[in-house]
Amino acid sequence: MDINAIKARLSQLQDSNTRVSNLWKPPAGQTQIRIVPYLHNKDNPFIELFFHYQIGSKNYLSPISNGRPDPIEEFSQKLKEGGSRDDYQIGKKLEAKMRTFAPVVVRGQESEGVKFWGFGKTVYQELLSINTDPDYFDITDAMNGRDIVVEFKTAEELGAAFPKTNIRVKPNQTPITEDADLMEKLLNNQKNLNEIYKEKTYEELTSVLESWISGKSEDEGEESKETFKPAPATAPVAETAKSTVSSATDAFDDLFNS
């Protein structure tokens, strides 16, 4: 029995449980929430992270989220600069995509504490516009902010390829809660998002990339269901890669073995 392997797997499962319990995904229909000030960056509640989606069946946090070099991103850029249309498409699919998160309290579930809501570019732009509108100002203010109604419609419900999220800011200014003890807990007992999504080292991501190119599977990324999963293209990345595996391998060798 490999005790170290068992410990590693236990740690992976614990990390997965932490993500599930600390993330919030809107259910179908309408839900009322409140974006709250972020304990770990009180100047800005919005946290921008970059992910590589579906490298194999996994998602990986890109180190560029924290201003560090990322071998998958470097490889993506090299492919895009290679001149081949297929290489460019693969590079585009591999490049890190931004996902924004905000700490929220779900109305009716305040006792569950602060969770993180992840959303795409359209919702993010709308929230930024609202938060800079002088008629609204800071909707996240603990005492004078505003709740948000999130309406989520599934792709199946819409008969479309993508789900749709709409938001509507409530007109009344209200405190997060009237309970002083609960207010203290919500503002001062928050997870750091960087503890939920852990960054792999440059060497680990290089190994992930090498395994993906060679067709091997990786088991240590983020589960796809726990982060945003873009709709699949007409041809999956790995399938498209088969037609250009030679040039992709050459690009990998040039980048990491020269």
Task: For residues 44 and 25, give the distance between their C-alpha atoms in angstroms, rounded to a whole number.
Answer: 21
Who wins on pLDDT, 199 or 1?
199
Q: How confident is the model at residue 225 (pLDDT cuts 50, 70, 90)?
A: very low
Task: For residues 143 and 173, give the distance between their C-alpha atoms in angstroms, rounded to a whole number.
Answer: 8
- What is the residue whose two structure tokens read 């109604």? 149
Q: How confident is the model at residue 214 (pLDDT cuts 50, 70, 90)?
A: confident
Question: Which whole number is the average pLDDT over 183-200?
Answer: 95
Residue 253: CB atoms within 10 Å: 10
Least confident piece of the model among 1-10, 179-188, 193-202, 236-245: 236-245
Q: Which two three-digit tokens encode residue 213?
A: 């190119």
Total domains in the fold of the chain: 1
Evaluate if pTM is beyond 0.85: no
**Model pLDDT, residue 37:** 97
**Is the per-residue pLDDT at 110 higher than 90?**
yes
**Model pLDDT, residue 136:** 87
3-state secondary structure (DSSP) of residue 52: strand
Cβ neighbourhood burial of 211 (10 Å; 0-12, 13-18, 19+): middle
**Is the per-residue pLDDT at 195 higher than 60?**
yes
pLDDT digits (tens, 9 = 90+) for 154-167: 999 999 999 999 99
Residue 38: CB atoms within 10 Å: 22
Would you give the distance in Å from CA 116 to the centre of its chain?
Answer: 10
**Model pLDDT, residue 258:** 43
Task: For residues 144 and 172, give the distance between their C-alpha atoms in angstroms, rounded to a whole number.
Answer: 9
Task: For residues 62 and 68, give the distance between their C-alpha atoms in angstroms, rounded to a whole number.
Answer: 9
**Model pLDDT, residue 227:** 43
Mean pLDDT score across all residues of the chain? 84
Nearest to 45 by CA among 98, 100, 92: 100
Distance set, CA 217 to CA 27, 35, 229, 230, 252 (Å): 31, 38, 18, 20, 18
pLDDT digits (tens, 9 = 90+) for 119-136: 999 999 999 999 999 888
**DSSP output for 43-85:** T---EEEEEEEEETTEEEE-GGGGT---HHHHHHHHHHTSS-H
Q: Which residue range is the domain that position 151 belongs to?
A: 3-256
Question: Which whole number is the average pLDDT over 174-181?
Answer: 97
The CATH code of the domain that includes 240 is 3.90.198.10
Contact 123/167 with Cβ under 8 angstroms? yes
